[in-house]
Amino acid sequence: MTSILLRGGTIITPEGPVDSDVVIMRNRIKYILKRPYEPRLISQMDAKFDREVAISGKLLFPGLIDCHVHFREPGLEQKETMATGSAAALAGGVTTVCEMPNTIPPTVTVVALADKVRRAEKLRINPSTEFIPSAFEGLRTGNEELKIDVRFFFGATKPSHLQALRELWTGASEELQRLKARCCGLKLYFDHSTGNQGADMRVIEEAFKLCAELKIPVVCHCEDARVNQESRSKNKELCIDAHSRIRPPESEVKAIQNALALAKKYDTRLHIAHVSTRGGLELIRAAKQSGITVTCEVAPHHLFLTVEDYVTLGTLAKMNPPLRSREHQEALWKGIEDGTIDCIATDHAPHTLKEKQSGSPLEAPSGVPGVETMLPLLMSVASGQWPHPSPHTTYHIPHTDILRLCFTNPNRIFSLGKQGIAEDASADLILVDPKAEWTIRGGELHSKCGWTPYEGWSVRGKIIQ
């Protein structure tokens, strides 16, 4: 089959939901027909459809973008691979990801980037029905495999890494230009996290200067190394909730202050990763008002979990930056509402259960999976349902904000070139049943790690398979 009519659905657009029928031909969007329309219009298009699918009550989004994932390949394949991470992304409605550099080896050289690009180009997801939305399977041939668009961040901890980035960005060879097209920016760590990619301030400042010159977006993991070290030296506890005190809110605030000062000094395009504190968000809000070119993201685990969840989750709730109190969580939802937060990105960072549950709680690796569960969590809130098992004041997020935070803004910030749902665009779209209710089970998700911090949560909204 080469053509299909999706009848009765609703497209989520930046201006709001639009009841529309969509004609797809040869895996491209041929027509978008807003309803009500005259039936004779279809015949005037000289189109004969191989298949017509009724999708009344369903929502059409462009394939979502997760601009912060760790797929762990190469070097850490016991935690995740590009294939398993991509399968999880596709099952969660995410068709484009931006992958972080802290692998083994880290993505700090052109050679390392080329290896990741090669792996991504060879990546195929088996065309089993669990990954193929039923409305679209007629567009695929029997053995065709699903693909995901994986982009990569460069990393830097030494001046030589910055020189490699310069060569990548300014090189005239066809190969360097091809690799540059797959690179979405530079990732800097102000303190160590998984992979020990923390950089000193001399390298960080040079990075801001270089990226301003070459107009490369800089993504910063903002935790201050000195504040964390001082807090760590004062800590005498071994319990897991001490992790949030060892890496306190002041650490994030201090690092964001430093990052904003450098962005202002060099006029660098700055993006703050996984903001977790009220103070950090207030700094970003003020910086935007003052004209500094800064954007930011928040992770689902900071939106839906707090320090109170250490009691039930233990080390499964350990991540960097760590969980915060409810007042910080409330500030993040306010930042979504007033537009200060630009993106929701999962910081999908899987580890094996054995790694998470062995030894001292404070020695457990930091990071949680999340790429497959982001959309149902957000769709639940959009439906008026708070998915966390504990009673809580219900926040609200309209479907248009899910589009803004998980597609429009990351697409713009990282120059990904996605067209969205538009005539003559690739049919890179997802079909969501907003009323479907289901329970999250780690063993049923597609990440290799096989667990989730949202185990047993009842959610609403599911990709139609």
Amino acid 343 reads: C
Q: Which is the catalytic residue, given 241, 309, 347, 401?
A: 347
Q: Dihedral angle at the C-alpha atoms of 368, 372, 374, 375, nearest 10 degrees?
A: -170
Q: Cα 259 to chain center, whole Å? A: 21
Task: Report the candidate in 370, 279, 276 with the shortest Cα–Cα distance to residue 324.
Answer: 276
CB of 284 closer than 8 Å to CB of 272: yes
- The three-class DSSP label of residue 328 is helix
Provide φ and ψ at 250, rounded to 5°: -60, -30
- 433 counts as catalytic: no
**Residue labelled with tokens 């949680």:** 368
Residue 414, token pair as written in the block: 């990282």
SS3 content of the chain, % helix, strand, coil (to 5): 40, 20, 40
Give the DSSP H/E element, type plus range, for residue 458. strand 458-463
Q: Dihedral angle at the C-alpha atoms of 301, 325, 246, 359, nearest 10 degrees?
A: -50
Instruction: Report CA-CA distances (Å) from 359 to 77, 347, 351.
Output: 21, 24, 14
Task: Report the candidate in 125, 88, 119, 92 with the shortest Cα–Cα distance to residue 103.
Answer: 119
Provide the terminal-to-terminal Cα distance of the chain, rounded to the nearest Å.
18
d(CA 73, CA 82): 6
304 Cβ contact list (under 8 Å, min separation 6): 377, 387, 388, 454
b/e per residue, 348-381, with b = 16+ CB within 10 A?
bbbbbeebbeeeebbebbbbbbbbbbbbbbbbbb
CB of 95 closer than 8 Å to CB of 419: no
By annotation, the residues acting in catalysis are 347
